[in-house]
Amino acid sequence: MKHAIPILKTERLLLRPIAPLDLEAMYDYTSRENVARYVTWQAHTSLEDTKAFLKRILNGYQQGNLLLLGIEVH
């Protein structure tokens, strides 16, 4: 069953669904070896890697089987 993805907001943070406009920011952190060391995926070596990653996230949202939120600091 597909559920709405929550948006959570505090004075300093916004937790929200990841969107296509996040591609560049996602590549910035997914391409870092010091980040990849602590996650389940290898560091991205191209923007195409991140596009594929983003596509999997968006497909997971569509299928209703993924809850992964972006973090914005305000």
What CATH code is carried by the domain that includes residue 36? Answer: 3.40.630.30
For residue 73, pLDDT over 90 is answered with yes
For residue 5, pLDDT over 90 is answered with no
- Does residue 43 belong to any structural domain of this protein? yes
**Structural domain range at position 48:** 8-73
Contact 56, 40 (CB under 8 A): no
Dist. CA 13–CA 73, nearest whole Å: 5
- Does residue 3 belong to any structural domain of this protein? no
Label residue 1 by pLDDT band (50, 70, 90): low
pLDDT digits (tens, 9 = 90+) for 8-66: 999 999 999 999 999 999 999 999 999 999 999 899 999 999 999 999 999 999 999 99
- Does residue 2 belong to any structural domain of this protein? no
- Does residue 69 belong to any structural domain of this protein? yes
The number of distinct structural domains making up the chain is 1
- Does residue 42 belong to any structural domain of this protein? yes
